[in-house]
């Protein structure tokens, strides 16, 4: 069974196991200030939400969480974009966070996706996440009704003032049509609970400016840009690929931090084609197809998401099999 193979491959993989913090002091200064303490460092998995017959499949979710923790992942995003949060009911969203916190039981940090284009709703869900024991929040910029620079800042400020949990700001312009500038990031860094950036803009020039001027830890929001982001001082990744290849995301980060850049690049290049194929259709369509093939869950999505087409699935499975030989 492929699921068993994935467990064995992860456990046998030659991963650096130093207990030293991934995020060290050697690159801790930007614009004259020390970087804020990151909520996590290295690889975090943006988990899918498994469904079966129209309902959340908690049995599969438990299996996925255990697979992640056994593989060495120490941070998990629940109910984010990859988790199809927009199609979760209010009750499902709350219960999903509560269930994940209970299942992880302190073995991995649970970061709850609680963003909304309604600031009041984002605050309400963030309070529930805090009540249920989540370790942090992932909050996307307001979408559709969008916001100008002032609106973005006040949105996060209001959430910051109504929770004690660490907040990772999520910038994904391809989905929101809003981009956070380095100037706004610098202001957000002054908020007590804002502790990081998930950057998924794919604009490395803008990212470089943010990295140069902003004291917030930066996480790559794109698997195919992980190594470039690390080279700009990033402290890790919030990964889709690590749903099936957690060891690869962990290894790239740890090799890079240990100064073994050539080896990190080798692993990065090995998985680059697969990471790009994961976005050959709308996320999480491709990753769910692969996870179903691997025996981790059903290949079930909620409308308006639909299953990957045959050509897309064929390419995904072929590359997955190449990587698991």
**Catalytic residue IDs:** 170, 198
Is residue 166 within 8 Å of 137, Cβ to Cβ? yes
How far apart, in whole angstroms, are the C-alpha atoms of residue 49 and residue 58? 9
User: What are the helix (H) ranges across the chain?
Assistant: 2-12, 58-70, 90-104, 119-131, 149-160, 173-176, 182-188, 204-213, 226-231, 246-257, 261-277, 285-293, 310-323
Is residue 16 within 8 Å of 200, Cβ to Cβ? no
Cα–Cα distances in angstroms (integers) from residue 128 to residues 74, 90, 141, 244, in the given order: 22, 11, 19, 29
Q: At what angle do helices 58-70 and 90-104 cross, to 10 degrees?
A: 40
φ/ψ of residue 283, rounded to 5: -65, 135
How far apart, in whole angstroms, are the C-alpha atoms of residue 206 and residue 252? 23
């Amino acid at each position: 069974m492929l699921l068993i193979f994935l467990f064995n491959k992860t456990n046998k993989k030659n991963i650096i196991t130093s207990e030293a913090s991934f995020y060290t002091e050697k690159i801790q200064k930007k614009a004259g200030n020390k970087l804020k303490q990151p909520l996590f460092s290295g690889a975090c998995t943006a988990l899918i939400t498994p469904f079966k017959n129209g309902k959340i499949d908690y049995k599969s979710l438990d299996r996925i969480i255990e697979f992640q923790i056994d593989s060495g992942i120490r941070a998990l995003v629940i109910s984010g974009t990859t988790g199809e949060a927009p199609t979760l009911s209010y009750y499902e969203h709350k219960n999903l966070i509560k269930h994940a916190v209970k299942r992880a039981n302190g073995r991995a940090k649970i970061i709850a996706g609680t963003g909304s284009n309604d600031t009041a709703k984002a605050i309400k869900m963030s309070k529930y996440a805090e009540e249920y024991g989540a370790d942090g929040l992932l909050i996307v910029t307001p979408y559709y009704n969008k916001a100008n620079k002032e609106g973005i800042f006040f949105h996060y400020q209001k959430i910051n003032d109504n929770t004690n949990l660490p907040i990772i700001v999520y910038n994904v312009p391809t989905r929101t049509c809003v981009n956070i500038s380095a100037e706004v990031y610098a202001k957000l860094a002054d908020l007590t609970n804002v502790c990081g950036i998930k950057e998924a803009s794919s604009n490395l020039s803008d990212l470089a400016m943010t990295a140069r001027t902003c004291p917030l830890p930066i996480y790559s929001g794109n698997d195919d840009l992980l190594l470039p982001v690390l080279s700009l001082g990033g402290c890790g990744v919030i990964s889709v690929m690590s749903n099936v290849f957690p060891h690869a995301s962990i290894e790239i980060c740890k090799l890079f931090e240990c100064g073994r850049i050539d080896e990190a690049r080798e692993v990065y290049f090995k998985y680059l084609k697969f990471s790009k194929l994961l976005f050959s259709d709308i996320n999480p369509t491709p990753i769910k197809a692969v996870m179903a093939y691997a025996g981790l869950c059903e290949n079930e999505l909620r409308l308006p998401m639909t299953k990957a087409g045959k050509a897309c699935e064929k390419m995904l499975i072929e590359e997955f099999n190449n990587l698991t030989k």
